Amino acid sequence: MSVYLLRRLIQAVGVVLAMSLIVFIGVFAIGDPVEILISPDADQMERERAIKALGLDLPLWQQYAIFLGKALQGDLGRSFVFNEPALTLILQRMPATLELAFAATFGAILIGLPLGLYAGLRPNSVGSKAIMAGSILGFSLPTFWVGLMLIMVFAVQLGWLPSTGRGETVTILGMRWSFLTADGISHLIMPALNLALFKISLVIRLTRAGVRETMLMDYVKFARAKGLSPFRVTFVHVFKNILIPVVTVTGLEFGSTIAFSVVTESIFAWPGMGKLIIDSINVLDRPVIVAYLMIVVLMFITINLIVDLTYSVLDPRVRLEGK
């Protein structure tokens, strides 16, 4: 087990290194932040002073070396725009994004699993066909359009839900959370639903496919031959088997939920990391972009590890040696 974890850790370091290099070169290739940051009226002296202050006068490889050296000490650079450490900026926004992503993921499981189970158990009923047709819409409608429609219907026309911001928040452990106040929850519902729509469809389809496949297995027939109640056959024998793919995929999807939240956060003016990264890309705020992507990579690596560990809990056949 510890050997396994160590190997994963070394792989993770390799991925982070490769990632930082690609991002660094990529952002360098996009454009020169100096053009955007420094006012056109500035004279040559001022320009050079600013470039020097930002460390942009050095060759790229030196900039990268300095960045790496500082990164090892936990310093991912200062934002050109806010003149604050990039890491602090991102961590400030992170709870908002995580809250949204968790709400969307749990929503997707709470809605998707029962619907998928129903569709799998009664594949020919009208309800199942409606669910499956709906899941195609969930897959194919663009997130931004659904978001705008949600605002149109529930905020503008019906006036049930607020359309922007986080609402009232409660501070716990130095971070602000919306889900603990009624006002915050009313602000959370629409963006979370918007973000969850794709995942709901995904969970429905995965669950349905899993149920239909598992129902044909000999062990389900054997469970019925033992005289077990249909409830136990479905919710113990079938359910535990379909959880394996569902957990794997929703877990891995969690990373892309955070990435996708860029669109949803922009539409609902949700003050999270996604909004920050879009703004930073617009002004080529290189340290923030690099720091954000590094953090996202770290998050993906952590999520993958957690998924692998959960997987081995659910499926005894892949249980890691030496428990």
Partner 1 sequence: MSAPTLEVRNLCTHFFTRAGVVKAVDDVSFTVDRGKVLGLVGESGSGKTVTGFSIMGLVDAPGRIVSGSILFQGKDLATLSEEEMRHLRGNRIAMIFQDPMMTLNPVLRIDTQMIETVLAHEKVSEDEARQRSRDALGMVGIPSPDERLKSYPHQFSGGMRQRVAIAIALLHRPELIVADEPTTALDVTIQGQILAEVQKLCATTGTAMIWITHDLSVVAGLADDIAVMYAGKVVEYGDVGEVLDKPLHPYTHGLIGSVPSRNKRGEPLRQIPGMTPSLLNLPEGCAFRARCPRAQADCVQRPELREWLPARLARCHHPHREEAAAA
Chain residues that interact with partner 1, rule: CB under 8 A: 217-219, 221-229, 232, 236-237, 240-241, 244, 314-317
Residue number with CB closer to partner 1 (156 or 320): 320
Residue number with CB closer to partner 1 (290 or 307): 307
Task: Give the nearest distance from C-beta 225 to partner 1 in angstroms.
Answer: 4
Residue number with CB closer to partner 1 (49 or 129): 129
DSSP letter (8 states) at residue 175 = E
Task: Give the nearest distance from C-beta 316 to partner 1 in angstroms.
Answer: 4
Counting every residue written for the chain, the total comes to 323
Task: Give the nearest distance from C-beta 317 to partner 1 in angstroms.
Answer: 5
Task: Give the nearest distance from C-beta 209 to partner 1 in angstroms.
Answer: 17
Residue number with CB closer to partner 1 (129 or 319): 319
Gap between the Cα atoms of 269 and 62, Å rounded: 38
Q: Are 198 and 111 in contact (CB under 8 A)?
A: no
Q: Are 311 and 244 in contact (CB under 8 A)?
A: yes
- For helices 143-150 and 182-215, the axis angle rounded to 10 degrees is 130
What's the token pair of residue 52? 């020097």
Task: Give the nearest distance from C-beta 246 to partner 1 in angstroms.
Answer: 13
Task: Give the nearest distance from C-beta 323 to partner 1 in angstroms.
Answer: 12
Q: Are 105 and 261 in contact (CB under 8 A)?
A: no
Q: How many CA atoms lie within 13 A of 242 on its CB side?
A: 31
Task: Give the nearest distance from C-beta 76 to partner 1 in angstroms.
Answer: 42
Residue number with CB closer to partner 1 (229 or 302): 229
Residue number with CB closer to partner 1 (54 or 223): 223
Gap between the Cα atoms of 184 and 168, Å rounded: 5
Pick the closest to residue 303 from 244, 265, 248, 242 (CA basis): 248
Gap between the Cα atoms of 188 and 264, Å rounded: 11
DSSP letter (8 states) at residue 269 = T
Residue number with CB closer to partner 1 (228 or 281): 228
Residue number with CB closer to partner 1 (145 or 219): 219
Gap between the Cα atoms of 76 and 219, Å rounded: 54
Task: Give the nearest distance from C-beta 309 to partner 1 in angstroms.
Answer: 16
Gap between the Cα atoms of 209 and 147, Å rounded: 28
Gap between the Cα atoms of 300 and 143, Å rounded: 22
**Locus of tokens 């629409």:** 190
